[in-house]
Structure 1
Amino acid sequence: MNNLAMKFSVPAGLLMLFLLPGLVSRAQDANELIKKVKEKLALVNDYQAEGVMKTDVSFMKVPESKVTIYYKKPDKFKIKKQDGISIVPKGGGNINLASLFEGNNYTAVPAGKSTINGAPVAIIKLLPLDEKSDVVVSTLYIDEKEALVKKAIITTRENGTYEMEMQYGKYTNRGLPDIITFLFATKDYKLPKGLAFDYDAGEQQPKNNTTTTGNQKGKIQISYTNYTINKGIANDIFK
């Protein structure tokens, strides 16, 4: 029996020779898919969009509001409410998909397949090469046919984990969503970086105390009604 086992045993080095081509091929596929996503997002240099923002956070009373959203490469982002008050996300680049791929400073790792709303997606993890990066890992769920990120789960060092879910329609060919939803844990009243909006004094703000909300989820949803793309936006808009 021992002789038989020895006869059919495969040395570890030889086994790696069999497995390595498959691993390399999957890594190449992941990089190629990321490249296609980036190429689509790169078509947008700037945009101004109209939309409606809904906020569902237990400790905030923020009414539904019409908003104007401004974006300019690489990471300028601003939301202006209908009453003229500006909402500037802290670290706002993190809520723009294009910023996840900025500088190619990451490794793309294939992580299997899944479905989003019944549609097949490939799962790819982006691991930052910069050890000082606040982002630990970004898990992307990508529609391979359309080269669209349908969902992203971002894990950070300082601000926990949050999710972005995208629904596409009219602007699919430029990778711009019709609806984007941010989901995050409200534990310790701490919004993740990129979602910690500076609200005006008339709205209840999170308090830094020992009270927690357990594992409750907060949600911010922006429904875009139209985009004006690549018409140029002055830097002064973002001040």
Structure 2
Amino acid sequence: MSEFEKPSIFVIEDEKDLGELMCRSLTSFRYQVRYFSRGEQALLEFNKQTPDICIVDLNLPDIDGMELVKQLEDEDTGVIIVSGRDALTDRVLGLEFGADDYITKPFEPRELVARVQSLLRRLRKKKQQSVTVYKQAHFANWVFKPESLSLHLIDESDETLSRAEGEILLALLKHPFQILSRDQLLGENSAPYDRSIDVRMSRLRKKIESDPQHPVLIKTVYGAGYMLACDVNWV
């Protein structure tokens, strides 16, 4: 997605009236929008075209929305969940499965547009920053390669991080021994609930800490944020 291209958006929503309303609202802001009433339809098209953002309803007739979000997690696309489920557990689960944002129904179309614009700015900024990409970072007994999001423990096998996990780890690796606030780690994608960064940090710790309940690499600085407490060597 370049600065001059129209961002592409897939709207995956089984309520036709609501889906068409979302499409009209987004099209009026010059986005390229495609509507799907079923998740499998969207996945088939996804193999042909990768949109910049997928807007996913959780109550789809043919596939569980959370499962669809999970399938999209490692793809190069932003994901916004729209759902009538407003319980904190659903929001947290959506973030755990890789969503970038969560909007509860009912919502104003302008709010949806604002969330899309915010996520697009974040995705564009990330791609601009990737022009100068470090090859790999060595920290503790780990090697992290940002381009492939691969995490390697010396003398053991590789593991691939999700995009959200990779972004958080990269931010920490660029600023070792510095406290980064939740807003700094989430950037423009700050969600209206504080648990989002904590959920993603918990997932990351489970992968790099020997004892996630007593972390030694990523420290929590209560009231301030998080800090990577080890040296980092970029090569």
| Common fold by TM > 0.5 | no
Greater RCO, 1 or 2 (C-alpha within 8 Å, sep 6+) = 1
Task: Output the TM-score relative to the length of structure 2.
Answer: 0.26
More helix by share: 2
More strand by share: 1
